[in-house]
Amino acid sequence: MSTDSIKEKPEKTWVLATKNQGKLKEFQRLFAPLGVSIVSSKDFNVGDIPETGTTFIENAIIKARALAQVSGLPTLADDSGLCVDALNGAPGLYSARFSGEGTDAANNAKLLAELKAVDEADRSAYFYCALVLLKHADDPAPIIGLGKWDGQIAFESKGDNGFGYDPLFYVPTEDKHSAELAPETKNRLSHRAKALSQLLSKL
């Protein structure tokens, strides 16, 4: 299926395996031009899905399959996180629960504390996203898109846009923190945008 063939069909509904409103809004903006309406897993009676994989791809597939079984709809799931080179890739798979408190503020505070003694030159990091589409719960061939967004961890937070680690993630090509970027700019540069682009090329 090509991107054009998606656009020619009437609006369809896919489910995104997330309860994060910031992530939901990002995906809704990204898929709107394709005639696809994205709804949240909050619209279905789905509890927390254990992320037992050891990679971003494994976790994305686990989430997508569990939600597809409940919803009966095509399901998108991404597993994404921030990988900091000075921390050997942490927080990585545990980005959302890095601090143990589950809040963006606490996660950012812990990240700054962990990097307190790290010089600017050694604060390289990247966001990584594995995005999976399952047509149905028993789909044996998930479509997978991967994306990586390089940057650095700043010494202080800036910006009011985005969510998660966006206030600390400095984007050298834009000379701004991710949370300072306009949504349309972030949707062009981000790890999720790149993963989506790769996924669509495989449809």
Distance of CA 49 to the CA centre of its chain: 16
Using CA atoms of 5, 13, 188, 198 in order, give the dihedral in degrees to the nearest 10.
-60
Dist CA 203 CA 185 (whole Å): 24
Q: Which of 89, 93, 97 is nearest to 81 (CA)?
A: 93
- The one-character DSSP state at 11 is P
**Distance between CA atoms of residues 87 and 114, nearest Å:** 8
Q: How many whole angstroms separate alpha carbon 70 and alpha carbon 44?
A: 7
Is 85 a known active-site residue? no
The active-site residue out of 4, 43, 48, 79 is 79
CA distance 94 to 17: 17
| DSSP element (H, E) containing 39 | strand 36-40
Active site residues: 79
